[in-house]
Amino acid sequence: MLQEQQQQRPPVHFFTNNNVFNFTKFHNITNNNTSNDYNNYTDDKHFQYYYDYNQKDDVSEEFNYLDVINILIPVVFGIITAVGTIGNLIVIATIIYNRHRRNRPASNKSRVTSSATTSVATTTTDVLIASLAFADLLFVIICVPFTAVRFVTGWHLGRFLCIGHVYGVYLNAYASVYTMVLMAVDRYLAIVHPFCSINWRTPRNALIATLLVWLVLIVCNSPLLWEIDTFYQEGWFSCNFINYNNMEDRTFVQTFHSTFFLFCFFIPLTAITVLYSLLHRNLKRGMHRHPRNLPRNSQQLNKNSEISENQLTGMLIAVVVTFAACWLPIQICFLLFAFTKFNDTAIMIIIKLLSNCVAYMNSCLNPFLYAFFSQDFRDSFLNLLHALKYFCCPKSSKKLTTLKSTTKTTTTSTSSTTTTTSSTTSTTSTMT
């Protein structure tokens, strides 16, 4: 009876960034040794597999993981998609609106009061943050929902969307980490070489650098387009790399995951760490401090600017640390799968599932980091909300603005009256 149920059940796949982990244990064989204990089949690329029905399914004996995961995956991935889409759209909209406010005439009273928001550093950083938000937005749209759907139902969207889906996942992963490299370079130049780099660090150059990074990544990842295809296996459609499940020859898998680990994790994060270490050493030595013989107003302005710069640097470091913490577990799983006999035991399936969810969550965490670390971002976001409220409900917004103006005028008048009274009293006391 158990054997009949296993024969009717299609292969169940777990996709992490389009890498297939099989819950049912398939093995590649190249000889013709078959017996009644094995159910043989051949996929579109002529790889022969078998399933050993005499082998006990340790996972299904411990708990019914299929039912749990089929419910858990859509719910968790749906939350990640919704939060990531809304959060990154808010980041992009806030940056665009804030830039629009800066370009208004100087007579306009609606202006961000923070000193850092008018600096070149924040402007270039805004471009890079918008690029990172765009990459995260594409990731949660292209990767997360499609991965959930094809895990639960298999891939039924055709070969063209399959290629675009897998290619887009890795392209956006690379784009995210190398945008953070640009951020680290920008911070290093802004603090360590502020005067030498002031002509380089413009919004236009930041946009050009971002576009060049995307262009280089598109070209460098283009060979993947010829390695992706759809497969039909025992009633189950899958979408993955052609040679990914070839258990006899692991050259492709080992090369691919080694390259992905080096160029999408180790090398860029090492470069970022070096740059921020040099930046921290420079800050510690006090080379960025301004002379103390300046007027008090200038000293206060410089102090506020320094605090804003430190907050911005701390925020970007938090973004990098979050990226590393979220992607390290799944990178370890990839390397274990490529270089070891990665057994699908219950604990390993849970680890892979959690690692996959944590990696995807990274794309929806950055907006919360911006809101937590950056007062400028919070102010800009509140300005955006006020503008949206004015657009949707102009009457209520006008009343609120009028009330604020009246309150401010009353407060000013009261203060002036108090000051006048105090002056009169002081004069009277002096005369007496």
69 vs 302, residue with greater confidence: 69
Q: Is the pLDDT of residue 403 over 50?
A: no
Task: Say yes or no: domain 65-385 is CATH 1.20.1070.10.
Answer: yes
What pLDDT does 104 receive? Answer: 58
The values of phi and psi at residue 334, to 5°, are: -60, -45
What pLDDT does 149 receive? Answer: 80
What pLDDT does 113 receive? Answer: 39
Nearest to 114 by CA among 123, 34, 2: 123
Q: Is the pLDDT of residue 293 over 60?
A: no
pLDDT, mean of residues 284-299: 55
Residue 290 and residue 299: Cα distance in Å, rounded? 8
DSSP string, 334-381: HHHHHHS-----HHHHHHHHHHHHHHHHHHHHHHHHHHHH-HHHHHHH
What pLDDT does 296 receive? Answer: 53
Residue 187 and residue 164: Cα distance in Å, rounded? 34
pLDDT digits (tens, 9 = 90+) for 124-178: 989 999 999 999 999 999 889 888 887 778 888 889 999 999 999 999 999 999 9
Residue 142 and residue 80: Cα distance in Å, rounded? 12
pLDDT digits (tens, 9 = 90+) for 21-43: 443 333 333 333 433 333 333 44
What pLDDT does 289 receive? Answer: 52
Amino acid at 229: D
Whole-prediction pTM = 0.71
Q: Is the pLDDT of residue 78 over 70?
A: yes
| DSSP single-letter state for residue 118 | G
Residue 300 and residue 294: Cα distance in Å, rounded? 10
What pLDDT does 396 receive? Answer: 53
Most confident of 196-210, 337-351, 405-419: 196-210
User: Is residue 214 within 8 Å of 221, Cβ to Cβ?
Assistant: no
Query: Residue 122 is inside which H or E element, if any?
Result: helix 120-142
What pLDDT does 102 receive? Answer: 63
Domain ranges of the chain: 65-385
What pLDDT does 14 receive? Answer: 40
Q: Among all chains, which residue has been given the structure tokens 């675009």?
A: 164
Cβ burial 197-231 (10 Å sphere, 16+ → b, else e): beeebeeeebeebbeebbeebeeebeebeebbbbb
Share of the chain above pLDDT 70, in %: 62
20 vs 208, residue with greater confidence: 208
Distances (CA, A) of 318 to 83, 204, 362, 369, 410: 19, 26, 12, 7, 43
What pLDDT does 252 receive? Answer: 86
Helix, strand, coil shares of the chain as percentages rounded to 5?
Answer: 70, 10, 20
Nearest to 386 by CA among 123, 30, 138, 98: 98
Residue 163 and residue 229: Cα distance in Å, rounded? 7
Burial of residue 340 (number of CB atoms within 10 Å: 0-12, 13-18, 19+)? exposed
Quickly count: other Cβ atoms within 10 Å of residue 193's Cβ: 13
User: Is residue 103 within 8 Å of 203, Cβ to Cβ?
Assistant: no
Amino acid at 245: N
| DSSP single-letter state for residue 221 | T
Residue 13 and residue 21: Cα distance in Å, rounded? 6
Amino acid at 117: T
